Chains A and B, each alone.
Chain A
Amino acid sequence: MAAAESYPDDLKYHEEHDWARVEGDEAVLGITWFAADSLGELVHFEPPEVGSSVTKDQSYGEVESVKAVSDVIAPLSGEVLAVNEQVVDAPETVNEDPYGNGWLIRIRLGEAGEAETLLDAGAYRQLLADQ
């Protein structure tokens, strides 16, 4: 069962349809409802290695549905602390709960101040409306 459309206010957003939940000097990353809906039911998640680094605006992995494969873009830079194995085993979790159980990776933030450049929920909703 896919989730209903939503863009929680407590998250930051990247224009490539990725979100970040900043928690002190760490962040949890994932893809937005719009991305999950466009792809359709996910069948595969190709995660980065724990311990590797991700760079803002660059791809850190892939998600795949029957229709398409898509790069997952890092909204923030840092070091990978954890990969969500639940999504690796059951990729459709992302469609069911994109912001909760459907998180993709957790990172230790690398650069201070990067989060300022991200969109808030209102700005992201506006970006979607303008598309």
Chain B
Amino acid sequence: MTQHPFLALTDSDREQMLETIGVETVDELFRDLPEAVRLGRALELEPALSEPEVFAHVAELAARNADASRELSFLGAGMYDHYVPAVVDAILQRGELLTAYTPYQPEMSQGVLQAIFEYQTAVCELTGMDVSNASGYDGTSVAADACYVAKHATGRERIVVTEATNPQVRQVVKTYAAGFGLEVVEVPHRDGTTDPGELERAAVDAAAVIFQQPNFFGCLEPAPDLVATAAEAWALPIAHVDPLSLGVLEAPGRYGAALALGEGQAAGNFPSFGGPHYGFLAARKEFIRRMPGRIVGETVDTAGERGYVLTLQTREQHIRREKATSNITTNQTLLALGGLVYLTWLGPQGLRELGETCLSLAAYAKQRLEERAGLQPVFSAQTTFKEFAVRVGRNAREVVAAARERGVHPGYALGRDYEGMDDVLLVAVTERRTPDEIDRLADVLAEVAR
């Protein structure tokens, strides 16, 4: 058999090593395994392929997907086709960062540690908060993490979440809540946003109130009012936000949120069929010792030089064990690093321009869909950011199928997640879309939407 490219040992190496160990064969090294648990046959897997063969096979699988380079797409609903600049790829492929582990030995890992410190700073700046962790798995699990924080901070066992929050976020929160002993209550949306009066009734005895801004329909919630309502009930106000909206929308920390979190994908990660990405989680300073996940802190070395270390690790699984603030070990550092590189590339001017471009293009899209295809936004009274819900003349999934036959994916069919919305499409417009592309969407929908 040929030497496997991922192994270095030769037969001569093996011989010498076995002699040093004091056994005759490699099989003897497994002598502690009882006979009954040995497989005793080869694994039933297809034979090993060479790199060129693996490339051909897997590239063929890739070619069978209608991705955004092959199909004009207005799909959003929590994952967005924003432009990822080349510098992100270049930095994330540096082997010293890509192939390093969690920085337990800080003197070997100042690169990653400083990068996380810079990331934490960026998240605090975006959200107006005092402390950020080094990332969570995604925008859904950080919401679950926040519920755990709220439970321990308030001693209460109810979580209130708005119906206008991403359905997957709500689903994951409910899945985790079962283990945390938490009850989850939803507040329905009214014409695309949440009514603070209704929230007030639900928020009594709640540990936390979670709302999304902009919400799943792309509408702007009355966020300061929702926060104030939660705070009056002594519940923690938690804002689930779009990071790329924070150049034009106010930071949650400035209107009184206790925690701010969300899905980081739009800032610096490719959609990649759903992952891997990063969730961000930030809080006011009084929650610093309750924050789940890794946190990097600044310190000095024995020569007085500035350096960075993982800190407040006692809260984490590997020391507190059953009393930990969460069980997270591996997080999403590389993806968060992508976020940091992206936000550095964008800068504060770029972030504001991006927000304004999304607002303008989405407004243009609403206009064209009305003019050319006779389609009306569902929540016409609401201000929206980069996404909006539009009513089509028949089942939205059928409209999607018909539009895709013409090379355009027009958006997400909301009927899967919301009653009475089988004829509603959620259309997302990012800065990657052009007016010509939007015109094409309008033309296609004019053909298929009625």
Listed in ascending order, the chain A residues whose CB lies under 8 Å from chain B are 44, 46, 64-69
Q: Top 4 nearest A-B pairs by Cβ distance?
A: A69-B314, A68-B319, A64-B314, A68-B314
Q: Which residue of A is nearest B315, CB measured?
A: A69
In the assembled complex, the Cα of A115 lies from the Cα of B300 at a distance in Å of: 46
With a CB–CB cut-off of 8 A, which chain A residues contact B201?
Answer: none
CB contact list, B310-328 vs A, under 8 A: 313-315, 319-320, 323
Most chain B CB within 10 A, of A66, A68, A69, is at A69
Number of interface residues of B (CB under 8 A): 7
Q: Which residue of B is nearest A43, CB measured?
A: B314
In the assembled complex, the Cα of A66 lies from the Cα of B297 at a distance in Å of: 13
In the assembled complex, the Cα of A36 lies from the Cα of B306 at a distance in Å of: 29
Judged by a CB distance under 8 angstroms, whether B289 is at the interface is: yes
Indicate with 1 or 0, residue by residue over B372-394, a CB within 8 angstroms of chain A CB atoms.
00000000000000000000000
In the assembled complex, the Cα of A27 lies from the Cα of B24 at a distance in Å of: 68
In the assembled complex, the Cα of A68 lies from the Cα of B320 at a distance in Å of: 7
In the assembled complex, the Cα of A93 lies from the Cα of B336 at a distance in Å of: 39
In the assembled complex, the Cα of A66 lies from the Cα of B106 at a distance in Å of: 14
Q: Which residue of A is nearest B323, CB measured?
A: A69
With a CB–CB cut-off of 8 A, which chain B residues contact A69?
Answer: 314-315, 319-320, 323
CB contact list, B351-368 vs A, under 8 A: none
Q: Which residue of B is nearest A69, CB measured?
A: B314
With a CB–CB cut-off of 8 A, which chain A residues contact B320?
Answer: 68-69
Indicate with 1 or 0, residue by residue over B281-316, a CB within 8 angstroms of chain A CB atoms.
000000001000000000000000000000001110
Q: Which residue of B is nearest A65, CB measured?
A: B314
Q: Which residue of B is nearest A46, CB measured?
A: B289
**Contact across chains for A67 and B289 when beta carbons are under 8 A apart:** no
Of A44, A46, A67, the residue contacting B319 (CB under 8 A) is: A67
In the assembled complex, the Cα of A64 lies from the Cα of B313 at a distance in Å of: 10
Q: Which residue of B is nearest A71, CB measured?
A: B323
With a CB–CB cut-off of 8 A, which chain B residues contact A67?
Answer: 314, 319
Return 16 A-B CB contacts under 8 Å, by A number.
Answer: A44-B289, A46-B289, A64-B314, A65-B314, A66-B313, A66-B314, A67-B314, A67-B319, A68-B314, A68-B319, A68-B320, A69-B314, A69-B315, A69-B319, A69-B320, A69-B323
Shortest B24–chain A CB gap in Å is: 44
Shortest B312–chain A CB gap in Å is: 9
In the assembled complex, the Cα of A64 lies from the Cα of B314 at a distance in Å of: 8
With a CB–CB cut-off of 8 A, which chain A residues contact B319?
Answer: 67-69
With a CB–CB cut-off of 8 A, which chain B residues contact A65?
Answer: 314
Shortest B278–chain A CB gap in Å is: 27
Shortest A67–chain B CB gap in Å is: 7
With a CB–CB cut-off of 8 A, which chain B residues contact A64?
Answer: 314
With a CB–CB cut-off of 8 A, which chain A residues contact B323?
Answer: 69
Shortest B300–chain A CB gap in Å is: 15
In the assembled complex, the Cα of A65 lies from the Cα of B320 at a distance in Å of: 12
With a CB–CB cut-off of 8 A, which chain B residues contact A46?
Answer: 289
Shortest B377–chain A CB gap in Å is: 51
Shortest B326–chain A CB gap in Å is: 14
Shortest B82–chain A CB gap in Å is: 40
With a CB–CB cut-off of 8 A, which chain A residues contact B315?
Answer: 69
In the assembled complex, the Cα of A64 lies from the Cα of B323 at a distance in Å of: 13
In the assembled complex, the Cα of A64 lies from the Cα of B288 at a distance in Å of: 14
Most chain B CB within 10 A, of A65, A66, A67, is at A66
In the assembled complex, the Cα of A12 lies from the Cα of B31 at a distance in Å of: 54
Indicate with 1 or 0, residue by residue over B212-246, a CB within 8 angstroms of chain A CB atoms.
00000000000000000000000000000000000
With a CB–CB cut-off of 8 A, which chain A residues contact B313?
Answer: 66
With a CB–CB cut-off of 8 A, which chain A residues contact B289?
Answer: 44, 46
With a CB–CB cut-off of 8 A, which chain B residues contact A66?
Answer: 313-314
Shortest B306–chain A CB gap in Å is: 19
Shortest B289–chain A CB gap in Å is: 7
Q: Which residue of A is nearest B325, CB measured?
A: A69
In the assembled complex, the Cα of A44 lies from the Cα of B290 at a distance in Å of: 13
Shortest A42–chain B CB gap in Å is: 11
Known: A44-B289, A66-B314, A67-B319. 13 other contacts (CB 8 A): A46-B289, A64-B314, A65-B314, A66-B313, A67-B314, A68-B314, A68-B319, A68-B320, A69-B314, A69-B315, A69-B319, A69-B320, A69-B323
